[in-house]
Amino acid sequence: MIEIERKFLVKSTAFKAEAFKQTRIVQGFLNTDKARTVRVRLKGEQGFITVKGPSSSDGLERFEWEKEITALEAEALFKICEEGVIDKTRYEVKAGKHTFEIDEFYGDNDGLIVAEVELETKEDQFIKPEWLGTEVTGEIKYYNSQLSKHPFKLWK
């Protein structure tokens, strides 16, 4: 299916007090090619394999396919993933009818916090919480597949 998502930097950690859920996520990549990213994720006790296609020219839409797998399967697949594991906590915050997913990164991406909101249509309006910063939708360096190879600590 095609997902429509907008992505923002986060200005403060005020979102933490508003979160209704937080989950540790560890993920590796079987392919970091932007045209066919293959991600293996461990999210709490659940495993997932996810395939993403190329982004649309405006960066808003991207084909995404996901299948749940066991945690043991995810662990086995991690062993053959590319170098550069992503480790983060995902906070979920409601804002009107939408849910923001805010990822606070650890390790080589320590210091980076990014929020994403999934929309029904490209024109869909949404509430912007006060902690929401600059929009970075479509900026490839913020893709997790790219952060695994070129982490935040090496930027500037």
Residues that bind a copy of itself (CB under 8 A): 30-31, 33, 35-36, 38, 49, 51, 53-54, 63, 65, 67, 69, 73, 76-77, 79-82
Number of residues assigned to the chain: 156
Residue among 4 and 49 whose Cβ is closer to a copy of itself = 49
Which residue, 40 or 112, has its beta carbon nearer to a copy of itself?
Answer: 40
Task: Please state the closest distance from residue 55 (CB atom) to a copy of itself, in A.
Answer: 12
How remote is the C-alpha of 48 from its chain's centroid?
13
Q: How far apart are the first and last CA of the chain?
A: 35
2 is written with which tokens? 């095609």
Q: Which is nearer to a copy of itself, 69 or 119 (CB)?
A: 69
What's the closest the beta carbon of residue 52 comes to a copy of itself, in angstroms? Answer: 8
Nearer of residues 34 and 150 to a copy of itself, judged by Cβ: 34
Tell me the closest approach of the beta carbon of residue 108 to a copy of itself, in angstroms.
21
In angstroms, the CA 119 to CA 123 distance is 8
CA dihedral 39, 37, 138, 22 (to 10 degrees): -10
Q: What is the helix (H) or strand (E) element at residue 135, kind and residue range?
A: strand 132-135
